[in-house]
Amino acid sequence: MATQQYKAWSVVIMSTLAFTVCFMIWMMFAVIGIPIKETLGLNETQFGILIATPVLTGSLIRLPLGMWTDKFGGRIVFTVLMLSTVIPIWMMSYATAFWHFLTIGLFVGVAGGSFTVGISYCARWFPKHQQGTAMGIFGVGNTGAAVTKLVAPIIVVGYGWTMVPKVYAVLMLVMALVFWFFTFSDPSHKVAKTVTMREQLAVLKDPKVWRYSQYYSIVFGGYVALALWMTKYYIGEYGFDLKTAAFLAAAFSIPGGILRAMGGYFSDKFGAHTITWWVLWISLVCLFFLSYPQTSLTIQTVNGPATFGIGLNATVFTIIMFTLGIVFAIGKASVFKYISDDYPDNIGVVSGVVGLAGGLGGFFMPIMFGALLDLTGIRSSAFMLMFGIVWVSLMWMYFTEVRPVHADLHEKSLTTNP
């Protein structure tokens, strides 16, 4: 008979693999969306809507999925979720019109809701001091975005974009079956049957939940948005072909997934607040440099006009994106450490709310990226937008977490030394 520790690690490993496959599928428009855009003649805003559509349902469904996970258990909910997407994924290869892709994309996007199921399912198998690490390991499944960027272009070049959904549909079916046979259920992890929906949703009145949602909207929502947008950005800004652009874009996506486990470990060791505070500051610095557009500056000198080019070349840009991917990975883990610390008995619902907010960030931002590009013609306007969002998060954290602590310390010092 399997020990509790064996069951716990089996659940984490299989959930991580399943989440990786789900994330591959959730992000496939990052690659196949480019040939679809060319075929349909879409503008930048329409392209943003196309790639963001699956993110919408994957976000909206996170709250009910979190509630169902608390009620029925992660094993059954995760398995049914994966099986429900197999047919829509396959059907994607037969879409021909813009509305076809949008409609089918809504059903495919359900795969993105797997995060809320898995995060709650995994966390409950571990004691509190290990939950950050467990959730961080599960979050490594975000590397599915990088896997898609590495695998899907090869399929597109060799067999055309329509082969990608067919391969992914088979992969999802196999993963669902393997997941079911190698995971376990524990009745003690479910909430009591007497707990009502109103009681579960009472967390929506807690301002801390909305603050954590704001943090997550940038570290996860920004990650999703950039994972969808970067392949096309490299093509437009630096003139790379699809395979090279997708490969370079993976430099952002890979650390954004793999290093999430490290973020969970750091959060367990140093605390969610400390890690999140530094994540937001480093993100702000990275986005400041990424926001600066390619610029030609002409100066009148004694020898005549001298023109200088100011902007990031592809190498420096990729290095900064890699750094941003690292801090986003750590931040995604630290935000959920807040949740496991503050809501140990309601992880599913709270992670559903926070995950929904993060997913909506990933939905709206690509659309705004496209709209800003159509409006201004400046590609780096995407990073300008994200810079503003991070600044709001930092200010919110300062006034609700940092400043009150300093005020308490000052008051205690006055009491101790009158």
Q: What pLDDT is stored for residue 403 in this prediction? A: 73
Beta-carbon contacts of 52 under 8 Å, excluding residues fewer than 6 positions away, are 225, 228, 362, 363, 364, 365, 366, 367
Q: Output the CA torsion 82→85→86→87 (10° steps).
A: 150
**Does residue 337 have a pLDDT over 60?**
yes
Distance of CA 155 to the CA centre of its chain: 24
Q: Above 70 in pLDDT, residue 196?
A: no
Report yes or no: 30 and 51 within 8 Å, Cβ to Cβ.
yes
Look at residue 76 and tell me if it is in a domain: yes
Give me the mean pLDDT over the 136-152 stretch: 85
- Banded pLDDT at 414 (limits 50, 70, 90): low
What pLDDT is stored for residue 413 in this prediction?
A: 55
Confidence grade of residue 341 (pLDDT, cut at 50, 70, 90):
confident
Range in 66-80, 258-272, 387-401 the model is least confident about? 258-272
Please tell me the distance from the alpha carbon of residue 396 to that of residue 414, in angstroms, as a whole number.
27
In this structure, the number of other CB atoms found within 10 A of the CB of residue 3 comes to 8
Q: Is residue 192 part of a domain?
A: no
Q: What is the pLDDT of residues 91-129, one digit of tens each?
A: 999 999 999 999 999 999 999 889 889 888 888 888 877
CA 171, CA 180: separation in Å to the nearest integer?
A: 14
- pLDDT averaged over every residue in the chain: 86
Please tell me the least confidently modeled range out of 37-46, 166-175, 222-231, 345-354: 345-354
Rounded CA gap, 139 and 141, in Å?
Answer: 5
pLDDT (0 to 100) of residue 192: 61
pLDDT over 90 percentage in the chain? 40
Asked whether residue 418 is assigned to any structural domain, the reply reads no
Residue 17 tokens read as 């693999």
Q: How confident is the model at residue 193 (pLDDT cuts 50, 70, 90)?
A: low
Domain that holds residue 90: 4-184+199-412
Question: Residue 407 pLDDT > 70, yes or no?
Answer: no
Residues contacting 53, CB < 8 A, separation 6+: 29, 101, 102, 105, 106, 109
Per-residue model confidence (pLDDT) at position 106: 93
Phi, psi dihedral angles at 304 (to 5 degrees): 110, 180
The answer to whether position 194 is within a domain reads no
Interior CA angle at 83 toward 81 and 86, to 5°?
A: 115
Do the domain assignments include residue 225?
yes
Distance between start and end Cα atoms, the chain? 64
* Within-domain flag for 189: no
Mean pLDDT of 138-159: 87
CA-to-CA distance for 357 and 115, rounded, in angstroms? 13
| Sign, CA torsion 401/403/404/408 | positive
Q: What's the structural domain count of the chain? A: 1
What CATH number has the domain bearing residue 362?
1.20.1250.20
Predicted confidence at residue 195, as pLDDT, reads 62
Using alpha carbons only, give the angle 398, 399, 402 rounded to the nearest 5 degrees. 45
pLDDT tens column, 213-263:
889 889 988 988 998 899 989 999 999 998 899 889 888 888 876 777 788
DSSP assignment of 359-384: HHHHHHHHHHHHHHHHHH--TTHHHH
> For residue 172, what is the enclosing H or E element?
helix 163-181
pTM: 0.77
Of all helices (H) and strands (E), which one includes residue 232?
helix 221-238
Res 410 pLDDT > 60:
no
Of all residues in the chain, the percent with pLDDT exceeding 70 is 92
- C-alpha span between 366 and 223 (Å, rounded): 11
